[in-house]
Amino acid sequence: MFVQWLRENKVAAGILTVLRLYLGYSWVTAGWHKIADGFDASGYLKGSIANPVKGPDGHEVFGWYVNFLESFALPNVELFNVIVPWGEFLVGLGLLLGCFTTTAMFFGLVMNWSFFLAGTVSHNPRDIFLGVIILVAGYNAGRIGLDRWVIPFIRKTVFKQNETAAQKVTS
């Protein structure tokens, strides 16, 4: 019932817009500062590898993630130095404009979880909670935004192409 309300109600669309703008501003500013000031993830990655998340018994909780950071992320730090700031900026832009909202929020959640698994708590739990609400709401989260026009256009264009292709195959 709550999910249906999130997905269909106009009042929910207004509330989701406020949440979306809040998260979008946070993402855009974080990304822009990294782009403008320069960003080097190597220190963060080395710190996350050296100080992994540990359980009460002292063992690594996300050893597989530490392995990923050590064997892939750190050797490819130059790639992450581009992906992280531009990813943050583009996620924020998508949320602020309400354009491809669910896609932007999905990738925002991927980044939030990545930071969380690396041991950064900060505001990630709050952002994950709000992000899941926006993601579950789907189209309604971007209804008061560019998604109002972009999504129907894409649906019309893609479905029309699919119907045309299907007619050619069956002819």
User: Concatenated DSSP letters for 54-121?
Assistant: B-TTS-BSSHHHHHHIIIIITTTHHHHHHHHHHHHHHHHHHHHHTSSHHHHHHHHHHHHHHHHHTT--
Residues with Cβ within 8 Å of residue 109, at least 6 apart in sequence? 128, 131, 132, 135
> Could you give the number of structural domains in the chain?
1
| Average pLDDT of the residues in 24-29 | 98
Contact yes or no for 86/100 (Cβ under 8 A): no
Span 134-152, pLDDT tens digits: 999 999 999 999 999 999 9
Specify the pLDDT at position 165: 65
To the nearest 10°, report the CA torsion of 45, 129, 25, 83. 30
- pLDDT per residue over 62-92, tens digit each? 999 999 999 999 999 999 999 999 999 999 9
**Which domain, by its residues, includes 99?**
2-170
Q: What are phi and psi of 52, to 5 degrees?
A: -70, 165
How does pLDDT run across 113-125, given as a tens digit for each residue?
999 999 999 999 9
* Mean pLDDT over each residue of the chain, to the nearest integer: 94
Question: pTM of the prediction?
Answer: 0.89
**Tell me, what's the pLDDT at 160?**
76
Q: What percentage of the chain reaches a pLDDT higher than 90?
A: 88
pLDDT value at residue 126: 95
Contact 16, 10 (CB under 8 A): no
Top-confidence residue, 79 or 162: 79
According to the model, what pLDDT value does residue 125 have? Answer: 93
Q: Would you give the DSSP letter of residue 123?
A: T
For residue 153, what are its two tokens? 């256009």
